[in-house]
A and B are shown apart, each in its own frame.
Chain A
Amino acid sequence: MSLLASRPLEFRDPERARALVGALERLTAEIGRDRVSVMHVCGSHEQAIARFGLRASFPPALDVIMGPGCPVCITDLPEVDEGVALAEQGVRLATYADMLRVPGTSRSLADAQAAGARVEVVYGAAQAVELARAEPSTELVFFATGFETTAVATAAALLAGPPPNFSVLSAHKYIPPVMEIVAEMPDTRIEGFLAAGHAATITGWGVFEGFVERHRIPVVVAGFEPLDILAGLVGLLELIRDRRAEVINLYPRCVTRAGNLVAQEKLWKVFRPIGGRWRGIAHVPNGNLRLRDEMAAFDARRRFTIDVARLWTEAPAALAQQCRCGDIMAGIASPSDCALFGRACLPESPVGACMVSSEGTCKIWHLYGGHPNLREVGP
């Protein structure tokens, strides 16, 4: 069913990879339970796990779940609706490519674009500023999505003095608070978190210390190479076995305890955290980043009256109601548990956001195959 077969393990150091896989087996046996569930919160981690076929080498009792780590997927319907409404109101809208096909309540940005709205794809905030500069007589709104790393870029672009026709519709999200939500879910099975190395480059690993203290769930910061991920999982299982609630940084070449203070200063100068819904997950206190009052002049929500209510009177697509993206991002279900996955919901015709984004669990599993089993595949 997958378009690309999971690749054979291509490690720089196959011996070390084998040793790490051996350690995973030993640690899972020592923990001695039928199932040990850990969660990562990063689309790039899932891509690497799927692309390099790592799940095939995990012990059967180890369940590595992708949580709400796809920024496109957790952008809430009303936020997409705001973008659609603005574009339909005649504002020129720029956003990341993955946002175009994310379903809103009744339409996506791609639908609005097909109907004549000006929706343009950019790779980042700085490029959106350039588009605004090139056409000073037209209002340009940058529909800004993503976690800490892209939020910092949006902040820097705003602090660098954009032209007056530029504004930001912020749907940026902040990862640390959602880990609290997952940890507090009553039926959560998550015993440890693998934190994403590059978001932690900004925040520093110290940001997880309070979380670990409150929930007694260990966190390991890991990089993106197959060996980095295997080493991160070994570190996490050791902490789980020893019942040690600690933060360990296994990505020191990019992550420090304090993080990037220059980036943090810019981030918090432009944004303030507020509570808000993450699609399919829950209301996340402090999970949404919105522009501060000092940045009001560049806040699209204050510059324009955004009429989203009319989109809500139109009926949502019937298939969307069967979509299980939310359960998948909460770690309660796998893509293969969804009746639509690979049938009615495909990358060419996605029903849910998890099949749209290159960082969505469903798209990654569809492309690489999610759960290859070595015993079935053979040596």
Chain B
Amino acid sequence: MCLGVPGRVIEVEGDTALVDFWGVRKTVRLDVVDEPVAPGDYVLNHVGFAIRRIPREQIEGTLALYEELLRAADVQDLMAADVRNEIDASARRAKEEPR
């Protein structure tokens, strides 16, 4: 619950954005993020809501931890499980997009 997960914005539709999490596309709510969000931006998300637009020059360092966690992919791993839960917290799109 504390970790949150970054994702890349694919498109913005009003108060929601379609966000890519390492190939998994989910709809994230934009009600609480405090800066305008545009396609290509990275946002930090918590339980289905974007809470921060991550400065572009900082994104590499932010993603590295998550990539290592997801690579480890151990079913027992608590941090990797939290990241997956955070991704699952975002809604699937009503009509699934072909990836």
**A interface residues with partner B (beta carbon < 8 Å):** 3-4, 7, 10, 12, 42-45, 47-48, 51, 69, 71-72, 96-98, 123-127, 130, 146-147, 149-150, 152-153, 156, 159-160, 196, 198-199, 201-202, 224-225, 253-254, 260-263, 266, 358-359, 363-364, 367-368
CB distance from B83 to the nearest CB of A (A): 10
Enumerate B60-90 residues with CB–CB distance to A below 8 Å.
61-62, 64-65, 68, 72, 74, 76-79, 81-82, 85-86, 88-89
Would you mind naming 17 contact pairs between A and B with Cβ atoms under 8 Å apart? A7-B72, A51-B78, A123-B86, A123-B88, A125-B47, A126-B29, A130-B91, A147-B2, A149-B2, A149-B51, A198-B2, A198-B51, A224-B3, A253-B58, A253-B61, A263-B32, A359-B2
Q: Is the interface of B mostly helix, strand, loop or mixed?
A: mixed
Once the chains bind, are A152 and B91 in contact (CB under 8 Å)? no
Taking CB as reference atom, which chain B residue is nearest A45? B2
Q: State A80–B62 Cα separation when bound (angstroms).
A: 35
CB distance from B89 to the nearest CB of A (A): 4
Taking CB as reference atom, which chain B residue is nearest A201? B52
Given contacts A10-B68, A152-B49, A261-B34, contact A198 B44 (CB under 8 A): yes
CB distance from A62 to the nearest CB of B (A): 22
Once the chains bind, are A47 and B82 in contact (CB under 8 Å)? yes
Once the chains bind, are A262 and B33 in contact (CB under 8 Å)? yes
CB distance from B62 to the nearest CB of A (A): 6
CB distance from B60 to the nearest CB of A (A): 9
Once the chains bind, are A260 and B2 in contact (CB under 8 Å)? no
* 3 pairs of A and B residues whose beta carbons are closest in the complex: A124-B47, A123-B89, A253-B58
Q: Is the interface of A mostly helix, strand, loop or mixed?
A: helix
B64, B78, B85, B86: the one contacting A12 at CB < 8 Å is B64
Once the chains bind, are A198 and B32 in contact (CB under 8 Å)? no
Once the chains bind, are A153 and B78 in contact (CB under 8 Å)? no
Interface size class of B (residues with CB under 8 A): 35 or more
Task: Please indicate the chain A residues that have their CB under 8 angstroms from the CB of B25 in the complex.
Answer: none
Tell whether B10 is near chain A: CB-to-CB under 8 Å: no
Q: State A268–B51 Cα separation when bound (angstroms).
A: 16
Given contacts A126-B91, A127-B89, A156-B31, contact A254 B52 (CB under 8 A): yes
Tell whether B54 is near chain A: CB-to-CB under 8 Å: yes
Task: Please indicate the chain A residues that have their CB under 8 angstroms from the CB of B86 in the complex.
Answer: 123
CB distance from A305 to the nearest CB of B (A): 29
Q: State A3–B78 Cα separation when bound (angstroms).
A: 12
A126, A147, A199, A202: the one contacting B48 at CB < 8 Å is A126
Task: Please indicate the chain B residues that have their CB under 8 angstroms from the CB of A45 in the complex.
Answer: 2
Once the chains bind, are B1 and A146 in contact (CB under 8 Å)? yes
